[in-house]
Structure 1
Amino acid sequence: VIDKFIVVSPYIFDLEKFKERDSFDVLPQILIEYIEIFQYIIKTYASKFPNVSINFIHASKGETDRVNGNKKLNQNYMKKVEDLKQHVKNYSLGKNTSCSYELIGIEELNMLSQLQKSYSGDLKVSQNPIYVSFGDEKTKQKGYIATVSLKNFFNFLVDYDENNNPILKEYLFESNIRDYQNSTEVNKAIETTLKNKKSSDDFWWLNNGITILADEGSLNGSVFTLENIQIVNGLQTSYSIFNVLSAEKNNENEDRSVFCKIIITQEEESIDSIIKATNSQNSIPASSLRSTDNLQRDIELYLFKKDFFYDRRKNFYKNKKKPRNKIISINYLAQSLTSILEMKPSKARTSPTVLTKSDEDYEKIFNRNMSIEIYYYAIVLRKNVETYLKDNFNIKTDIDKDIKNYFYLHLLRITSSLLISDKAITYNKILNLEEGKILEIDNSSIEEAINILKEIIYTEKDKDSNVNLTNFSKSEKLNDLINQKLADYFIDK
């Protein structure tokens, strides 16, 4: 790559060489077109003596340590880099020409993928907003309280397609913990209020409003210019405004307003606190408050490539009309991981919402040190067990029926042990399995798991014929019985 940079740089930066068009035949046409644009800009602004900055990027899915850790390779490579930089600086491109060079590998690419795109925009507010600052000079953060006319807020929310139809800027809600909830009673009420233009009440009197976060912001007259915008609360209201006003087409006579809090901060702790606090007025599952974690974004991207849709933001993929059986919730994945890696299916069965509530529990199952494949494997293992119970399990007794309804996570735990041939399941033992063995579990393994589980259940019923199997499926005692049964099973084997 560095050699290619060196070879092509005279064609790009030597303004005289460009006149020799015949020599350019060695370059792709698209590159020639870009060189023409670049040189046109340089020549156009030459009289203003511009500062010109050139940045080369060598990006690949390799490891930068292979260069940095190999002294000989590093010396040769870096010598060529310095030669390239000096070469570029020798061309007369402007008053000052600087040149930099970046080497980006797989780790750097992964870090870059975590950076959210910065979105800027203008928001016109009504009257004079109230300015509030907090903290001392070093830690000062600022915010504004304002009303925004519905038509101006609508314009803030939309772009337009080639037919001048409004399109909602969905990226403004990336940091929101859930997606649009469709026709809930609350959303119906919001839309009914919006459609009732004869009401004597302004819209903002009846609505909790919108919370907008931005990295930077300046107020010029009545217009906020905001950088890196995210709407972290008020998604349902925003979608309702979009739905109603886009259907009406003409909003020029709309004089009602929506209430907005505009907070300017770059403090990550403050941002997380604001997201959590502004979404606590209504009941929000603990898992939803984890949705903005970078690891959750990584899992979503990885599973997307595997044809699963990780519903990090509740209802996002449902609203995209993705197949229901391919949509995976955070709770679903948390249950699967708890059943397999923690070997506690009863805990997973009891209350999936508490599995990610505390930081300690969350980090046990969502751990950055684990390879991301483990999340995919946990889902596939569970899907295989569920498919068998749905399509192949012959229900002959009430216990069979209970197994299908209440003990599927216990079957997942037992089947996972049978696959690795060990009662103790570990992260590495699952990863060391052949992928094909996970993707296509032999039905005999699931059938064997059912037999093991039935032995435990029948033994328990022999001790107490009135045992409630629904409650038994949630008991810690059952986890212990499974562990002991599997220990005996593998000794016999």
Structure 2
Amino acid sequence: MSANDRVLIDQMIEEQRNSLAVPLSFDEVFERFACEHALHGFGLSEEEVAAGVIGGGNDGGVDGAYVFLGGRLLHEDSEILQTPSAAANVESGAQLTLWLVQAKKSTTFSELALDKVASTCTHLLDMSADETDLKVMYSEDLIARFTLFKDALRRLLKRHPTVLIKFSYVTRGDTNEVHTKVQAKAKFLESQFDKAFAISQGEVEFLGPVELWKRASTLPSYTLELPYQESITHQTSHLALVALGDYIDFLSDDTGAIKSHIFDWNVRDYQGNVEVNQEIAAGLQDPAAAEFWWLNNGITIVCSQATSVGKRLSLSDVQIVNGLQTSYTIHETLRQLYDTDPSDPVFTRLVQVRILVTADQAARDAVIRATNRQTAVPVASLRATDDIQRQIESYFLEHEWFYDRRKNFYRNKGKPASQIVSIPLLAQSVMAMGLGRPDNARARPSSLLKSNQDYRRVFSENTELAVYLWLAKTQRCVDEFLQTRPVPISRSHYTNLHFHLAMLGAVKIVGGVFSDPNKLKNAAREDIFPTENHLESLLDSLQEKFTDFQKEHNYGPDKAAKSREFVHYLTTELGYGSLPVGR
């Protein structure tokens, strides 16, 4: 390793520190940086990375913990954990992953770090462990991440999942100089993961400045080549027949995993082992089946430019907006065979691909809506293309804020993270402050907008655009306050209370409880935000009432924060009144 690699990484981390609205230490930023690039291929947002960072004491040697199913991040309110039918629809053999990260700014790799993680996993992977005993040794945040993994595993047992437990050990040291004793400990840890469950496999990796630099300096490519067999061209757009082998290459990154970032604009996620995907897989596996493109509606790609040379299309700004189910099923059904026998006749079969060239975002949105109306997609799933979403984005841009209705769009353009607001975060801010339901914002981080009714309440055309920006800025203001207090609060405490504190800040400005976001339009027009002194006073009251409520109702912190009863108790006790419990 060149000494320059460490210098470059340190400089990159300092630049990231300077771009944050919240001043964090080098160690804290290094932890986030390490988690982000250990999980480089998953395309996580800033919020998703930060949510997985453990932080604080009793972390058991784990600085970040994330749970994935089939390459998709799981949340506590993910559908498979809520409804048996969703778990039943997961593809048989899908991979459930627990990914752990430890990040130390030291310039070496130590045995102690591996020993600590081994001990932690012995306790936290035990399906029969008593949570009361675990809380003596480990933070609630860390326990919650392992609980999420174990709950998902229980739900999926009938689907015969494969389990991967991976540990990324990240330092500023040279991975070529890892001591043999440390390497031996890594093998022992892998063996421990292998034996944790009958279906589990363990992996340990060492990441240093060289590996981090390569990942950090590599942005996901949206310019790709697509070979084709035949095509029809009209003006600048194309209708092509593509061999399945070439399409698998098009979809796969260097590791063979699917390029999830080229599906960012798709209106829904992979549905797993549902009937239509079973039929697609069966057709792929049957040598006697009719030509694949006869039986399948094909793929729709939008891009900003397409150039054809020698039966190869070079495509810029690629997004697959229709055909995600087909693409994932092709990849998951045939990827392994393609690695071992690319000459198999199945790979000469053809899939139809439409390549529509336009740089006009409104036109792209129209394509997404039109192509997805042919299948049973809930209207709310098309929300990123709604007029209200584009209006919010435009309004934010006018005020030098960035509304990420397309995940990571502005992040990939290098815009400051402190001014990027995602659809989920804005929705939670509206729910907590505008509608007076911080309990709902806390309880449903990923499923808040799944029903059309909730979506229409949160993103109402009757709400002034200035109010949406005010809500985003205020939630960011509250979050920054909590993260920069001289006496910090724990990560789990922050997760449970930051929406409640934001609600109290809004209620104080208005003078009482309310459930109409437009009650905030005067504050939005005049740029009135909760002051630090007000937030400090409100936080003291909030923490006191939070503790009192838990004692009176015998609730744990998570249950209390997610309960409507606590919101009623809080606002009543503080003299702000209360909304009807049914609202």
* TM-score, structure 2 normalization: 0.39
Structure with bigger gyration radius: 1
* TM-score, structure 1 normalization: 0.45
